[in-house]
Amino acid sequence: MSDHTISRNMLGMLKVFNFVLYGALAIYSTFFALYLKDLGISNVQIGLLVAGGPLIGLVANPFWAYWADRLRNNKRILIICLIGNFICMQFVFMTESYTLIYTLMLFYFAFQSPLFTQSNSLILNVIEGTNRKFGEFRAWGSLGWALIAVAAGPIIGWLGIGKLWIVFDVMLLFAIFFTFLMPSGNERPLKQKFSNKGYLQVFQNRYFLMFVCLGVLISIPNSINMTFMGIYIKGLGGSDTVVGWSAFATAILEVPVFLLLDKYLKKNSRTMLGWLVIISALFSVRWLLMSLATSAFQVIFIQLLHSITFGGYYYIGTQLTSHLVPAEYRSSGQAVYGLTWGGVSGIVAGVLGGWMFENLGASTLYQICFAITLCGVLGFFLLRQLFLRTGGSVGASNRQETM
C-alpha cells in the first residue's frame, strides 16, 4: 500500500477515529470505578470485577486477533467489538446488582479487550509502505483520551455519576460511526498467506516472549494505578472534575512523546530494549512519588510522568513487537503484547490491588508497586545484555537484527 492508494481524507479519518475511540475508553477507564463506588460496591469487589476483564482477555484478545489476521480485516473486528461493547454496557447501566453487573461485564470484556491492539494493528497496516509514522496517528488517541476525560469531568459532576451512561454512550456511538469509514487494514499481498503453522512463530521467538513476560512486572503497577487512581483522588479530597484533570494529565503530553519518538527513535531492537530499561526506571520513580502524595493536586502533577512512562513504553513496545513478529501475523503479535497490559497483570492488579488498597492503604500499595517495577528494570537490563551477547538473533522470527 502506497501513499497514492491512501487518500488524505482517509488518513484524516484514521486520526478522528483514534480520537473518539480513546475518548470513549477514557470515560470508562476514568469514571466507571467511581460509578461502582457510588452503587456501594467495595474496593475489593471493584478489584475482582476489574480482574475479570484480563481473565476474559487472555482468551478473547488472541481469538479476535487470530480472525483479524485470517480475514485480513481489522475494521470488521473493531466494528463487531464496539457494537458488542455498546450492547453489554446498556444492560450494565440498567442494574445495581453486583452479581449481575459482574456477569455482564465479563461479556463486555470479551469485546473490549482487543480494541487497543486491533486499532494499533489497523494503523500499522494502513501506513505500511508509506512515509507515515505510527505516533502521528496514535497521538490523536492520546488527545482524545485527555480532552474527553477533562471535558467529561464537570459534565458528569453536573449530571451525577449515576448518569455516566449518557456520556459513555455518546462517545461510543461516535466511535462506531467512524469505524465504518475506516479501511479494512491488514491488506497484505496475496503471496503472504495465513497459515496456522506460521502463526506459531509468534510464540516461538524467545526475545519476544521474554519481553512480554517482563512487561507483566511493569504493567501490574500501572493497571493498579489505572483502576484505583480515581478512588485514591477522591479519598484525598478531590472532585469528579479533579479526577478528569488527572486523566488529562496522563495523556496530553503523550502527543509530543509519540511525535518525538517517531522522529528520533532508532527502530532496532538493541536501542529499543535500552530505552525500555530507562522508561521502566522512570516508572519506579513515579510509583515512589505516588506513595508520598498527600493531596489530589500532587497526584495530578505526578500523573504528568505517565506521558513519558506509559506513553514511551507503549510506543516502543508496539514498535518492538512489530519488529520481532512477521508482518502477516501482526495482529496476533500485538494481541500477545497487549496481554502484558490487560492479561495476567490485569488479573493480579484487580485481585491483589483491590485487597492491598482496602487493607494496607494507598501509600503501602504504591511502595509495593515501586518494588515490583524495580524487578522489571533489572529484567530488561539483563535481557538487553543477553541480546547483545548473542548477537541479536531473534530466534524463530523471520528477521535478523542489524548490529
The reported pLDDT for the residue numbered 185 is: 59
Does the global pTM surpass 0.85? no
SS3 annotation, 70-129: HHCCHHHHHHHHHHHHHHHHHHHCCCCCHHHHHHHHHHHHHHHCCHHHHHHHHHHHHHCC
Rounded to whole angstroms, the Cα distance separating 191 from 219 reads: 37
For 8-184, the fitting CATH number among 1.10.287.990, 1.20.1250.20, 1.25.60.10, 3.30.70.270 is: 1.20.1250.20
CB 139 within 8 A of CB 259: yes
**Average of pLDDT values for 367-386?**
93
The reported pLDDT for the residue numbered 254 is: 80
User: How far is residue 176 CA from its own chain's centroid?
Assistant: 19
User: How far is residue 290 CA from its own chain's centroid?
Assistant: 21
In this predicted structure, the answer to whether residue 394 has a pLDDT above a threshold of 50 is: no
Label residue 196 by pLDDT band (50, 70, 90). Answer: low
Domain 198-391: which topology? Growth Hormone; Chain: A; (1.20.1250)
The reported pLDDT for the residue numbered 328 is: 66
Residue-wise pLDDT for 85-104, tens only, equals: 999 999 999 998 988 998 89
Query: 392 — alpha (psi -120 to 50), left (phi > 0) or beta?
Result: left
State the DSSP code for 27: H
Residues in a beta bridge with 400: 393
Between 197 and 277, name the one with better pLDDT.
277
Three-state DSSP at 393 gives: strand
In this predicted structure, the answer to whether residue 341 has a pLDDT above a threshold of 80 is: no
Label residue 20 by pLDDT band (50, 70, 90). Answer: very high
**Mean pLDDT: which of 144-148, 247-251, 372-376, 395-399 is highest?**
372-376
Label residue 73 by pLDDT band (50, 70, 90). Answer: confident
**Average of pLDDT values for 300-309?**
85
In this predicted structure, the answer to whether residue 263 has a pLDDT above a threshold of 80 is: yes
Label residue 169 by pLDDT band (50, 70, 90). Answer: very high
Say if 8-184 and 198-391 have the same CATH topology. yes
Rounded to whole angstroms, the Cα distance separating 88 from 82 reads: 10
What lies within 8 Å, CB to CB, of 8 at 6+ separation is none
Q: Of 109-118, 126-135, 255-264, 308-317, where does mean pLDDT reach its minimum? A: 126-135
Percent of the chain clearing pLDDT 70 (strictly above): 87
Amino acid present at 166:
I
The reported pLDDT for the residue numbered 74 is: 83
What lies within 8 Å, CB to CB, of 267 at 6+ separation is 319, 323
Map out the domains of the chain as residue ranges: 8-184, 198-391
Between 396 and 360, name the one with better pLDDT.
360
